[in-house]
Amino acid sequence: MQGAGHAVCLGPDIDTDLVIAGRYLRTKDHSVWVSHVFEDLDPSLAGHLNGAVIAAGKNFGCGSSREQAALALREAGVVAVIAPSFARIFFRNAINVGLPAIECSLSCAEGEYIRFDLADGWVEAGASRHLIRPLSPRMRDILAAGGLVNYWRTHR
Amino acid sequence: MSTLSERILGAPAGEYVDRKVDRAYVHDGTGVLTLETWKLMGAEQLSDLPQLYVLFDHIVPANNSTTATLQHELREFACGSFLQFSDIGGGICHQLMSEGVVLPGEVVVGADSHSCTPGAFGAFATGVGATDMAAIWLNGETWFRVPDTIGIHLSGSLCSGTEAKDLALSYVSRLGMDGGTYSALEFIGDGVKTLPMDDRLTLCNLSVETGAKTGMFYADDVTVKYLAAAGQKAGVQVPEPCTYSRELEFDLADIVPLIAVSNRVDRVKPVQDLAGVSVDQVFIGTCTNGRYSDLARLAKIVKGRKVAIRTIVVPASRAVLAEAIRTGVLADIIEAGCAIGTPGCGPCLGAHMGVLGDGEVCLSTANRNFKNRMGVGGEIYLSSVATAAASALSGEITEPGAD
């Protein structure tokens, strides 16, 4: 699986309350999450996520298990989230909704063009290429299917 | 020669396993998305393998028509599909699982990050998102990476005026917000036998605040006795020599009253250092500290006195509330001027009640103090029940006295 996008750089320990606040969770209208994504972190971020690769610090997605955090990013057009480490529930949620979550220590500048190839196992920021920690075979299959819903629709 | 996680999951740390789930639960928040996703998977019937529960606790009662409509749909589904269902007022999902439901050795999965809580019974209990839970509804199983384990050695016993919550904040501070990521925490050592089940539940509850997959105690005589009182038979689990990825040691006698300062659970300071900070609201409750022993401790401190600031008390379950009524604990709390909420999560998640105003400070017995969690511009400090009670009486952060 390959992808590319402009970098949106974030700090460490971004919790899922910051990705989408609890006050916006009670709806089936996914566009609500897209409108309010990262509102408590930086309200201007929502407008820059379409086609973005989020390059975050360690422990991205800590806190609440709310899957709306992964959905909000996917539906806002985020191509992938790259971080040195993820909170485990967010990591599973992201893969389960078809959003690549890539474990990699990456130094990059805001807006820089980032490319990745999960099959080959690398991320490129500018001229520098970084190796990534590979997904487990099961997670690779889930992501390749576009998420766990499609995975089980075809594996039953 | 295994850790408790390795023993229950049946494989060494680092391996991936598919495991049948014994119990799986959702609440009104995550259940809506689980149901929607389960339908998308093309499912026609629920897996008959695990015990499946739908437990309403997050926004109870519903705060507006949108929430009520979503809850209505989930309630109809739960009742129509013969899922085990607890409606508003029953209590917090993790608490209900801890009232004689989860048993040692089980694999328990909840669609909530604090589903690590019933690990206190010697179960492998962990949180997942809605889609993973939908797949469990579908198949009755899920995959796990068997975690490595951090051994937390406890010795001695807690001093008067300190609580398991202070110990919990202490280990979170030591490990940091990601120090336990992908790992299990095992609480072991001579100090364990001094900790009743309520304390163990508090300690396991905060394990996810280090990123850990779960927190666990080996079932011992305390566990067996607690479960017997709830009508359940269980045996003890004997620890065997095993390899920990990391080990921490705590002498419980060294623990002092602590507070996690806004906006990080690992930003922990002695209460003494924050004494005098003005507080607008005190909140006592949640899956961390809303159990009967917590309410009893609160009552003991506020009995015959009046709180100086608004104080919200939310029992963790109907059983907790009923016991507090039966023993007179609730009357002491009400007469001291506290407001009582419907058993459930209460203001912890900032989605309906007890929300903070801009610039307001809440001292809470919950487990998260993230930015804006309880209201935009509000600040959250986390403490024990005793610290919260002493501070409610004075209106400012106050170190609790000895019992």
Residues of B whose CB is below 8 A from A103: none
Q: What are phi and psi of A9, to 5 degrees?
A: -95, 130
B115, closest residue in chain A (CA to CA): A65
In chain A, what is the straight-line distance between the N-terminal and C-terminal CA atoms, in Å?
24
C-alpha R_g of chain A: 15
Going by C-alpha positions, the residue among B266, B282, B277, B281 that lies closest to residue B367 is B266
Report in angstroms the alpha-carbon separations of B166 from A2, A22, B95, B270.
47, 27, 20, 9
**Phi, psi at B296, each rounded to 5°:** -65, -40
Q: Is A122 helix (H, G, I), strand (E, B) or coil?
A: strand
* Nearest in space to B192 (alpha carbons), one of B151, B144, B138, B156: B156
* Residue A40 near residue A16, CB atoms below 8 Å: no
pTM above 0.95, yes or no: yes
Contact assessment for residue B354 and residue B283, using Cβ atoms and an 8 Å cutoff? yes
Residue B199 C-alpha from the chain's centroid: 11
For residues A33-41, average pLDDT: 97
Question: With a cut of 70, which residues of chain B have pLDDT below it?
Answer: 403
DSSP label of B376: T
Amino acid (one-letter) located at B82: F
pLDDT digits (tens, 9 = 90+) for A59-106: 999 999 999 999 999 999 999 999 999 999 999 999 999 999 999 999
Tokens representing B124?
């492998």
Any CB–CB contact under 8 A between A27 and chain B? yes
CA atoms of A141 and A149, how far apart (whole Å): 12
Q: Which 105-134 residues of chain A touch chain B by CB within 8 A?
A: none
Q: Which of A20, A67, A139 to mutate to test the interface with B (most CBs of B within 10 A)?
A: A67
Instruction: With CB atoms and an 8 Å threshold, state whether A18 touches B370.
Output: yes
Closest Cα partner for B286 from B260, B265, B312?
B312
* Chain B interface mutation, best of A39, A65, A143, highest count of B Cβ atoms under 10 Å: A65
| Cα distance between residue B212 and residue B14, in whole Å | 14
Q: By three-state DSSP, how is residue B72 classified?
A: helix
Nearest CA in chain B to A22: B351
- Min Cα distance A90 → chain B (Å) is 8
Residue (of B119, B127, B59, B70) closest to B92 by Cα position: B59
CB contact under 8 A, B351 and A25: yes
Domains of chain B, each with CATH number or no CATH: 4-145 (3.30.499.10), 149-254 (3.40.1060.10), 258-394 (3.30.499.10)
Mean pLDDT of A10-19: 97
Parallel/antiparallel/unpaired status of strands B339-340 and B310-314: parallel
- Closest CA of chain B from A34, distance in Å: 16
Q: What is the ipTM of this complex?
A: 0.96
Handedness of CA B193, B186, B84, B312 (dihedral sign): positive
Which tops the pLDDT comparison, A156 or B393?
A: B393
For residue A123, give how far its alpha carbon lies from the nearest alpha carbon of chain B (Å).
Answer: 23
- Select from B40, B115, B130 the Cβ nearest to the Cβ of A67: B130
Sign of CA dihedral B197, B199, B205, B207: negative
Query: Which distant-in-sequence residues (6+ apart) come within 8 Å of B373 by Cβ?
Result: A17, A21, A22, B348, B349, B350, B380
Cβ atoms A70, A147 nearer than 8 A = no
- Cross-strand partners of B18: B143
Cβ-nearest to B129 among A41, A65, A153: A65
- 3-state DSSP assignment of residue A52: strand
- From B336's Cα to the closest Cα of chain A, the distance in A is 31
Domains and CATH numbers, chain A: 2-155 (3.20.19.10)
Q: CA–CA distance from A140 to each of A71, A99, A121, B116, B173 (Å)?
A: 19, 12, 12, 26, 34
Q: Which residues of B touch A64 (CB under 8 A)?
A: 113, 349, 368
pLDDT value at residue A17 = 96
Tally of CB atoms within 10 A around B85: 17
Q: Give me the pLDDT at residue B403, please.
A: 61
| Backbone dihedral angles phi then psi of residue A99, each to the nearest 5 degrees | -100, 115
Q: Work out the burial of residue B119: count CB atoms within 10 Å of its CB; fewer than 13 is exposed, 13-18 middle, 19 or more buried.
A: buried
The one-letter amino acid at B343: P
Identify the pLDDT of residue B49. Answer: 75
Q: What pLDDT, on a 0 to 100 scale, did the predictor assign at position B263?
A: 96
